[in-house]
Amino acid sequence: MNKPQGSTNTPKLIRAAILGAPGSGKGTLAIALADKFNLAYFDTGLLYRGLAHIALEEFGEDFTKTNVINIAKSFRINTLKESNLRSPILGRYASEIGAIPEVRKILIKIQREFKEKSPSNKGIVVDGRDIGTVIFPNANVKLFISASLEERARRRLRDFLTNDENISYDEVIKQLQKRDQRDKERSVAPLVAAKDAHLIDTTNINKEETLEIASSLVAKKLSD
């Protein structure tokens, strides 16, 4: 069949939002998807880790809510250095900072601006805990990644041990329970699955199997 005159084949761009609880595997999946489909990648959790890093450096562990709000007001994405931000302890402080409504509102604005400035000719994968509902509600692929509390704790414990941090499995369980509660109950952008998100439980599957499931969903969207 002949195409209508003047029509063009415009490549479909993937705009993927991957959300889920800590230890679910969302970050690992997001990086793998971006690499496989040549997409830009943005980890929104690094913003909160970045704030935690600055607050700890400037004020120590006794930093206040006001300290963090003032840091957030002058925060710039291009100052982040990912290699400094992956320690589990920063993840714990980042979760506490993310529960501050004033901070979350400031960073939501920063995240939306970054998303709008991403290259228009290239798709993007964004991961975080409120991506599909607040930051990126118009994403055309939404994945909610979950895993049992016990499996997430085992994964987190491996991270702690890799970073030579002395902590028990039971303590990791308690930390995750507190983080889950904060994420679900915070007043601004709580952690919930978007109504149109595909749910992937990674409890009993490895990262390669998770990538295969997610890739099939992306490929389907590209072929629609």
Condensed to tens digits (0 to 9), the pLDDT of residues 26-40 reads: 999 999 999 999 998
The token pair that represents 14 in the structure block: 């993937």
In contact, 25 and 31? CB cutoff 8 Å = no
CA atoms within 13 A on the CB side of 1: 3
Task: For the chain, give every domain's residue range.
Answer: 15-213
Q: Determine the pLDDT at residue 28.
A: 94
Tell me which residues of the chain have a pLDDT lower than 50: 1-8
Q: Determine the pLDDT at residue 138.
A: 87
Q: Determine the pLDDT at residue 8.
A: 44
Q: Determine the pLDDT at residue 224.
A: 81
Kind and range of the H or E element at 71?
helix 65-73
Topology of domain 15-213, per CATH? Rossmann fold (3.40.50)
Q: What is the DSSP letter of 140?
A: S
Counted residue by residue, the chain has a size of 224
Reference 35, options 222, 156, 214; nearest CA is: 214
Provide CB contacts within 8 A for 128, sequence distance 6+: 18, 19, 43, 44, 45, 111, 135
Condensed to tens digits (0 to 9), the pLDDT of residues 207-218 reads: 999 999 999 999
0.85 cut: is pTM over it? Answer: no
